Structure 1
Amino acid sequence: MSPTAVISRSALRLNLRAVLSTQPDAAIDVRADGWGHGLGFVAQTALESGVRALIVDEEGRRELDGVVPAAVLVSGSPSAIGDPVYGLSAGFIPVLSLRGRVLSLKELKTGEAVSYGYTFRTPRDTVIALVTGGYAQGVLRALGNAVTVRIAGERHPIVGRVAMDVCVVDVGPRPRVRRGDEVTFFDDSPEGPAVAEWAAAGGLTPAEIACAVGLRNHREYVA
């Protein structure tokens, strides 16, 4: 079971509207499969919103050939706009969120080690959750012992080294968490976490995080 990259149509439309209100001739960057958001989805939404130019790579040009007017497709532009469109700039709404699931729970005693390499030992008796999502799905190795996720309305830290397809979360000695619960890695809610937290911890930009996550996971489009 892999995490799901959830992509909001309404957020993308609102961001496009905000960009076009001040830059009506803006060229929107849809390279790297629409920054991991899905080229066809982003292109269609952008055109419906009044965008006049899409910045594409060669693969994107081939995919959109015959689907959108050729005059709209531009090979490159120093003024290409991306971050605000995908909600990765302050004042805009994040379009993509990442959600996984709790696979199992395990009790640990004080001092027991977590994950390979033993980079984390429990400071108290606690419960850990094994969660879907590892570095193969864009959950960077650097996030271990560095960020939190949200489960059952509460923030809990990722602990130990992130594995290929899973990571470990310390949910505390008396958790409200249950097997099968949804795990929010990042989203646009006030409770967070926000993608900016991942970027700061992983030494990447929010755009690089979004691209990696969007390209490596099943995508679900919501209103």
Structure 2
Amino acid sequence: MTSGDRMPGAAPRRSAPVARIDHRILRANVEALLLMTGGEYAIADLRHDAWGHGVREIARTLVEAGVDGFVVDRSVRDGLSDELPGVAVEASGDSTLDSSALFGLPGTAGTPVMRLAGSVLLVKALRAGEGVSYGFSHRARADTRIALVTGGYAQGIVRSLGDHARVRIGARRHGIVGRVAMDACVVDIGDAEVVRGDEAVFFGAHVDDPDLAVWTEHTGMTAPELVTAVGARAQREHVS
């Protein structure tokens, strides 16, 4: 595991959101892809730390699911070959599996493997005309309530998502307002019942979770670039 990963049951760092990597979903995605290939030799592209999902953890699950080989970064090739004897691990070549579908990125039939969630730090009232964020870049048009949520550009939540992206708290989605800060962002919650400690989901596999496609639309980045950045910067948690 990398320094950013933790095992289930370990206490999370409260200052950072968690990128949860669900290996149950990963298995379902790869099984669907293997059915489409008709049993031919299967190679997965796990470069860039498996697109931010954690190359060693992902590779072990894919081997168990029937994947035959991997294309990985040169820096991890030898170590991964030692950990997975008999499996083809190369630093160059082409994959036969659709990596976007493998990780469930927008535009594919796969289910998202990564789920990013922070937590509510505080809730306060915001009166009409009052501002939030750097330079008060957002001012309330009417009386409302806001929540400060863990997760900012230091964890891969791109600054330009302010005033565009949403998070899910409970059963409702709420818009991020103002500029995304380094480790937090502000969410307009209106009259919703939100309290300190509530989970705030930035994207994930639940039907009500915000879609990563909104991030690609407003950042100019691709979905692979976004999940790679989040996986590299946020605290990762692997669940099986």
Query: What is the TM-score of this pair, normalised by structure 2?
Result: 0.88
Consecutive unaligned residues in structure 2, runs of 5 or more: 1-14
In 1, are the aligned partners of 2:104 and 2:110 still within 8 Å (CA)? yes
Q: What does residue 62 of structure 1 align with?
A: 78
Q: What does residue 24 of structure 2 align with?
A: 10
Does residue 163 in structure 1 map to residue 177 in structure 2?
A: no
Does residue 152 in structure 1 map to residue 170 in structure 2?
A: yes
Does residue 48 in structure 1 map to residue 64 in structure 2?
A: yes
Distance 1:76 1:200 in 2: 31
Distance 1:164 1:207 in 2: 21
Instruction: Give the superposition deviation at 1:84.
Output: 1.1
Structural RMSD (CA): 1.4
Does residue 101 in structure 1 map to residue 119 in structure 2?
A: yes
In 2, are the aligned partners of 1:120 and 1:159 still within 8 Å (CA)? yes
Instruction: Give the superposition deviation at 1:119.
Output: 2.1
Change over 3 Å in CA distance of 1:108–1:60 after alignment to 2: same
Paired AA for residue 18 in structure 2: T
Does residue 179 in structure 1 map to residue 196 in structure 2?
A: yes
Consecutive unaligned residues in structure 1, runs of 5 or more: none
Paired AA for residue 31 in structure 1: R
Equivalent runs, 1:1-223 vs 2, <5 Å: 1-23=15-37, 24-69=40-85, 72-79=88-95, 81-88=98-105, 89-172=107-190, 174-223=191-240
Q: What does residue 4 of structure 2 align with?
A: none
Paired AA for residue 30 in structure 1: L
Runs of 4+ with deviation above 6 angstroms: none
Distance 1:183 1:111 in 2: 26
Query: What is the TM-score of this pair, normalised by structure 1?
Result: 0.95
- Of all paired residues, the percent bearing the same amino acid is 44
Higher mean C-alpha deviation, range 40-49 or range 59-68: 59-68
Distance 1:17 1:48 in 2: 11
